[in-house]
A = this chain, B = another copy of it.
């Protein structure tokens, strides 16, 4: 039994996925069909989202969306910004689609935006649950999305970069359970959009006790096999308690 949806409040989820094989950062988009002539553009693509039910918190709403639309759970969502321009809904077609979709009259909608990080991995059973209207697109191709979602994307990426640099966020969700240091470095590079020196990177990693080497190596690769590592969540949490001594 669904509660009443608030017609002026929504949540939207920017879901970043790291494609380790393609070495690409992608986002999950929901495809509608409200502009039939625009198959080549992104006007039909939006982020997974929903109006907020009157008895749920914003976080609950975001997790509900994620679960309903993608089947994903146990992933970490982070609220990063509210978007409330009265003209966010740009086209009549979009408003009509929304009204039909939610069954309520819609005027102005303020959306609370979240981002999440997951890995794109065919071995990952969760992936099967993603519905057919959803698909991954490369983040570099994600211009001109529906509503103000391109702007939301820009802001989400800024927030992610900030969090990655300064808070060491949950970016490890993006990697497989066992990963190589090259994959780790590549993740940083993809998110931050810059390259790092391999040796210096590994020196830093060496100091992080929460990146722990398994005894194990890659196999089946046509080159020197890399050591596999895992991420220790407990040690990570403990390390984050360390005092910040930065200023200015």
A residues near B, CB below 8 A? Answer: 6, 8-9, 52, 54-59, 61, 79, 81-86, 107-108, 110, 112, 162, 164-166, 168, 188, 192, 194, 196, 204-205, 208, 244, 246-248
Residue of B nearest to A205 (CB): B248
- Select one of B9, B57, B162, B208 contacting A9, CB under 8 A: B9
Residue of B nearest to A57 (CB): B85
Known: A82-B79, A84-B52. A165 touches B246 (CB 8 A): yes
- The dominant DSSP class at the A interface is mixed
CB–CB A86/B188 < 8 A: no
CB–CB B81/A248 < 8 A: no
**Closest Cβ of chain B: how far from A95's Cβ, in Å?**
15
CB–CB A110/B162 < 8 A: no
CB–CB B86/A244 < 8 A: no
Residue of B nearest to A81 (CB): B79
**Can you name 21 A-B pairs with beta carbons within 8 Å?**
A6-B8, A6-B108, A9-B84, A9-B110, A54-B107, A55-B86, A58-B84, A58-B110, A61-B84, A82-B82, A82-B112, A84-B112, A110-B112, A165-B247, A165-B248, A168-B248, A188-B247, A188-B248, A192-B247, A194-B247, A205-B248
